[in-house]
Amino acid sequence: MNATELAAAIAALPKAELHLHLEGSIAPETVVRLAANYGVEVSAEEVAARYRYTDFAGFIEAYKWVTSFLRRPADYRLIAEELFDRLIAQNVVYAEVTLSGGVMLRRGQDVEANFAALIGAAERAAVKGFRVQWIFDAARQFGALEAVETALWATRLAPAGVVAFSVGGDELALSARDLQPAYELARSAGLHALAHAGEIGGPEIVREAIDMLGAERIGHGIGVLHDPILMDDLAERGLPLEICPTSNLRTGALGRQLGADGARLDRHPLKSFFDRGLRVVLATDDPAMFETDLLGEYRVAAAMGFSPAELARLAEASFALALLPQAERQAYLDLFRGQAETLGLL
């Protein structure tokens, strides 16, 4: 199978994405429209320039700026509809989308009204065969009390499609111990526990997220490359890492983990993790802010040396590790395997 045939086969596969931030999916042209609604004049080129950064702090500043134009439920519905349309165009049939509940709360927004608008966008996409579930995310740098408040909102919205609580943002800003009350609240309501860890931090933060917070999946986790014992433990336990290669490059996380000479996609540890037996899924993180999409990430993985069969196994993992009841997960897996076999990938 040549490169063109492989790209076509991956595009034709039904796919899932498990690490995707709604607010990081806003295309520059949409930022222009949103900003204009609030009297701010900015060009698409200026937005694109803000979407380029040299370190994680620069990314956080850009994220704060772009989310400042999300003020009404209609804004959230617009960006969700556009994201879902782009996913559907890539044959993504299922996604777990992270929502920055902590940012909404900090800005005094009506969380319930915003979420109702998102449900409307999800219902529109469902007609096209796309399903979404939501992860409510607290910003670690906002502190322990705001994390608890975000977790409380996650529990309130669970009947409407919130399936997990997570913490993102600056992983060096607050200890895992301080976050335990928020996670205990979320788990007590039946929500899954996820965590960003080991993106810019070391393996000890990943271990704390697992041992102290009960994280079932780790967002990024590339810092585990410094701890072979932890990598083997993760492989043995089957605890997944959500890997976003282009994000790691663009935020400077990859260079931070590997040094300046390591800030290249061909040095990314994704393939070595996969070969070592770690459970990994491929995702985009904040696709608009990193000028990527899910098909682009599979092209990146192919360039790392993944064979067609390995790419299929990588894509299958996103269904196998989805936060779904077993019967629903199996239905997606059956759909995927049938198509992968037809395309000659399995």
- Residue 260: is its pLDDT beyond 90? no
Average pLDDT for the chain:
96
Let me know the angle formed at the C-alpha of 98 by 86 and 288, rounded to the nearest 5 degrees. 40
What DSSP designation does 22 have?
G
pLDDT band at 311 (very low <50, low <70, confident <90, very high): very high
Measured CA to CA, the distance from residue 117 to residue 114 in angstroms comes to 5
Lowest-pLDDT range of 232-241, 252-261, 282-291: 252-261
pLDDT at position 127, please?
A: 97
**Mean pLDDT along residues 23-41:** 97
pLDDT band of residue 107 (cuts 50, 70, 90) is very high
Side-chain half-sphere of 212: how many Cα atoms within 13 Å?
16
Q: In one letter, which amino acid is 316?
A: E
Q: Report the alpha-carbon distance of residue 86 to residue 70 in Å, rounded.
A: 20
> Band of the pLDDT at 54, cuts 50, 70, 90?
confident
**Could you tell me how far CA 223 lies from the centroid of its own chain?**
17
Q: At what angle do helices 308-320 and 3-12 cross, to 10 degrees?
A: 20
CB 222 within 8 A of CB 191: no
Question: What are the chain's domains?
Answer: 3-342 (3.20.20.140)
pLDDT tens digits for range 145-164: 999 999 999 999 999 999 99
8 A C-beta contact, residue 240 and residue 317:
yes
Q: Please give the average per-residue pLDDT across 279-295, as a whole number.
A: 98
Predicted pLDDT of residue 174:
94
pLDDT band at 262 (very low <50, low <70, confident <90, very high): confident
Render pLDDT for 216-256 as a digit per residue (tens, 0 to 9): 999 999 999 999 999 999 999 999 999 999 999 999 999 99
66-96 per-position pLDDT tens digit: 999 999 999 999 999 999 999 999 999 999 9
Mean predicted confidence (pLDDT) in 278-294 = 98
pTM for this model (two decimals): 0.96
Please identify which of the residues 17, 23, 171, 199 carries the catalytic annotation: 199
Instruction: Mention every residue, 6+ apart, whose C-beta is less than 8 A from residue 26.
Output: 34, 66, 79, 82, 288, 289
Give every strand in the sheet of 92-99, ordered side by side: 15-21, 92-99, 131-139, 162-168, 192-197, 217-220, 241-243, 280-282
Q: Is 199 one of the catalytic residues?
A: yes
